[in-house]
Chain A
Amino acid sequence: MTGLNLTMKRSKKRSFRRMMLDYPYLMSLMVCLFLLIVNGIFEPRSLGFEGLLGTLNSYLPLMIVAMGQTYVVFAGDIDLSVGSIISLVNVATVALIAYYGSGYDAIGIGILCGLGIGVACGFFNGICIAVFRFQPIVTTFATGVIFGGLALWIMPNSGMAVPEYYWDNYAGEVLGIPFVILILIFMALLITIIARHKFTLLLKAIGDDIQPAFQTGLPVVQTRIKGYMMCGLFAAISSLCLTGDTASGDPLLGVKTTLLSVAAVVLGGTALSGGSGSTIGSAVGALIIGLIGSVVFFAGISYEYQNLVQGLIVLLALAGGVMVSKR
């Protein structure tokens, strides 16, 4: 009897573990819904279309960086330079668009170069870490300072504006659908495809344990570099979105984003030690961070306490996640 009971308990525990492995973002999704409801209680209008669109508008860039950060974390690495990549791509794009005369073609060139710069930054990180075996945290901290320095060199002061078509399109609609929603759908499709690609499995196998991955003959070095390049690409996309939102160049644009992206990845159920998790979770994690901010704001907590309360709630959400996954 007890034996049977025990196996049942065990299989129940296994199926739960299994569910967390297959859908690591379930917990964060629930937390996210809960926060949405709380938000709605404090400010009913926030649950309307306009309110939701506003939230998405503000946090889409963070969602995208967090997705990119996830690929690096899958492999057990980390990228602390994403904030600086965002700043660098922003100022480079804005400056290039102005340089080429602010026409449609100039915008095209600017966007393509911006994406290229993001990928190049990621490539540089990847070479340092996967080929020269530098320690990821310190390396990307240092390259982050370099990229940020480059941004300041290109544009010492914030302010150069982008042409109207750029931000007008970003804030506008295509076929009656808001442009930010289109971007979200595009990104969702992109990460779903990548999740099924061999690339994701290789990253996770490397993050799980690098030695067996190496002994199995997997292209460990190339895959880690590709992870960083993917992260750089996503940071660049995020930067282009932010540019649409702020409509100007700012060499310190991404400063706050770096650690928020790491927090979003963890809140999304991805292990920092590598090997498991999901990009969707990171997007949800980014939304959680955003919603916590707005809950604190709508709850009418006075300004000087907002950061404190926000931090405490993030810690609580993390603790909840840890408790559930250790059950």
Chain B
Amino acid sequence: MPLLKVSNVSKSFGKVVALQNTAIKVEIGEVHILIGSNGCGKSTLCKIIAGSVRPDRGSIQINDQPVSFHSPIDAFQAGIGVFYQELSLSKLRTVGENIFLGNLPVNRLGLIDQKKLKQRATAIMKPFAEVVGADFHPGAIISDLREDQRQIVEILKTISTDAKILIFDEPTSSLDRKQVKVFFELIGRLRKQGKAIIFISHRLDEVFEIGDKITVMRDANTVAELKVADTDKDSIVHLMVGQKIEYQNNHQETLDSERKTVLDIQHLSGSNFDDVSFEMKRGEILGFGGLHGQGQSDILQTIFGVRPATNGKIVVKGQVAPKMSPHKAVDLGFAYISGDRVRQGIIQNRPIVENLSPVSLVKNRHLLFSRARMAEKSKPVLKQLNTLFSGFETSVNNLSGGNQQKIVISRWLIDNPEILLLDDPTKGIDLQAKADLFSMIRQLLKTGVSIILYSSEDEELLNNTDRVLVFHGGEITRELVGDERTEFNLYQAAFGDSAKLAL
């Protein structure tokens, strides 16, 4: 009899289907791995079990008893403990307070017993004492801690309760090898104590190290449940990929070596990525792939000067770029379009012409803003993107959502950028705008613009790029060129399958 049984759970956010008839069963004393690519619904499934998202349909049973959670408090009381990927810590509170926030040691009056809190915290932190550094103690403030230390606090917080079902959503992403080892020993002990553990991982190696069973998810569905002992890495990757799709090689001709190098990144490091080097040629479209949040956005933002680089060089057309800022980047011919910002970038209730102008105003320092010149200049771009609008002076709010997004994208393309940085550009935009954006991209490539495309949608990435750099943990793990660009190879590298990296 499974301790936790989730059946037929579905959830949609607006038109987006996040989960469709998903099911998972977890037994006592079992470490159950949940694995799948970006946006397959893992986190949503976890949040439903944890009570912070309510399902549209389906049932959850604990010990054969149906349960229904209205808030995390309900789930907490039903014995579910959760490690949240984005961490659930109070940054200005101490380590001890955070670990026991849900069940503070108090006396009869409700006053906190500081001594007991410290004792308990010290005890629970002990296994990690040797692998985290001296500044990690019960009285340390969270905001002073490194990312790995914070992650360990979240781990301890999760296991400090007497929850029977523990969910870990990517608990090891910032931990080093030694810390992971201590953590896995801890998991082993919890397993012996009869806890049921759900473990989401982005490292295939870990799956085989710690897991008993695996549930594979793909496109909002749970597609298979396997015993770890009966399977291997390749089969899991195949299950995540699903049916095989052939990708066309659109831009093979752009790869000739005689083209000039426009961007040369040398040993660039910054927050969330380390020692990244690559070159890009004129008219090339280079893809950044891998799982979400492996440093891809951070690199693009660092190149554009939004975040500081801690080390390394950015060489633009043979010249070493000075300390970057977005303003300088625009001057050097960069444009940066982020899918996150497209919706936010709209200047509400203002005419279209004003919505087109911000980047152009930064780049060309005219004393006066000429609406007519702005409108004239933006016509070709708007036409290429198939933007439908009645006049430059109409309010942007009269446009459909997709056309509003095209206006925001246009503002970056008006002044002929030479290097286009696309940071998951289609995340926020609708299907039609997406198709028009990619047809525009193909036009731009022909005119010699170079493009870096980071996309969390693997199909889009493989379909539209010449070359793909796959990132894992802030490093490039593999370069896929030509026929190597398959979903299988992409997933294998994205999940850090180290055995294959030597290829």
Q: Which residues of A contact B (CB under 8 A)?
A: 14, 17-18, 21, 193, 196-199, 201, 204-205, 208-209, 211-219, 275-276
Contacts and interface: CB of A to CB of B under 8 A. Distances in A.
A212 B83 CA distance: 11
B143 to A, nearest CB: 9
B435 interface: no
Interface in B424-456: none
A199 to B, nearest CB: 7
B90 A18 contact: no
Contacts of B77: 217
Contacts of B88: 211-213, 215-216
Contacts, number: 78
Contacts of B112: 196-198, 201
B75 A217 contact: yes
Given A197-B111, A216-B101, A208 B90 contact: yes
12 contacts: A21-B92, A196-B114, A197-B111, A204-B92, A205-B90, A205-B97, A208-B93, A209-B91, A213-B90, A215-B50, A216-B101, A219-B73
A213 B87 CA distance: 11
Given A208-B91, A209-B91, A216-B76, 16 more contacts: A193-B109, A197-B109, A198-B110, A201-B93, A201-B97, A201-B101, A208-B90, A208-B93, A213-B101, A214-B52, A214-B72, A215-B50, A215-B72, A215-B88, A275-B90, A276-B92
Contacts of A218: 73, 101-102
B102 A197 contact: no
A216 B154 CA distance: 11
A209 B87 CA distance: 11
A298 B76 CA distance: 60
A313 B388 CA distance: 57
A86 B92 CA distance: 33
Interface of B: 50, 52, 71-73, 75-77, 82, 84, 87-93, 97, 101-102, 104, 106, 109-112, 114, 141, 144, 157
B90 A204 contact: yes
B205 to A, nearest CB: 29
Given A201-B112, A214-B52, A215-B52, A209 B106 contact: no
Contacts of B50: 215
Contacts of B111: 193, 196-198
Contact of B102 (A18, A199, A216): A216
Nearest to A219: B73
B73 A198 contact: no
Contacts of A214: 52, 71-72
A198 B104 contact: yes
A190 to B, nearest CB: 13
Nearest to B82: A215
A216 B92 contact: no
A199 B110 contact: yes
A211 B86 CA distance: 11
A205 B93 contact: yes
A204 B199 CA distance: 31
A265 B325 CA distance: 38
A14 B101 contact: no
Nearest to B74: A217
A213 B75 CA distance: 14
Contact of B72 (A21, A216, A275): A216
B101 to A, nearest CB: 5
Contact of A209 (B73, B90, B110, B157): B90
B109 A14 contact: no
A21 B141 contact: yes
Residue picked from B50, B52, B101, most chain A C-beta under 10 Å? B101
Nearest to B84: A215
B305 to A, nearest CB: 24
Contacts of A213: 88, 90, 101
Tell me which of A193, A208, A213, A219 has the highest count of chain B C-beta atoms within 10 A of its own C-beta. Answer: A208
A14 B76 contact: no
B190 to A, nearest CB: 19
A212 B102 contact: no
Nearest to B139: A18
B141 A18 contact: yes
Contacts of A21: 92, 141
Contacts of B72: 214-217
Contacts of A219: 73
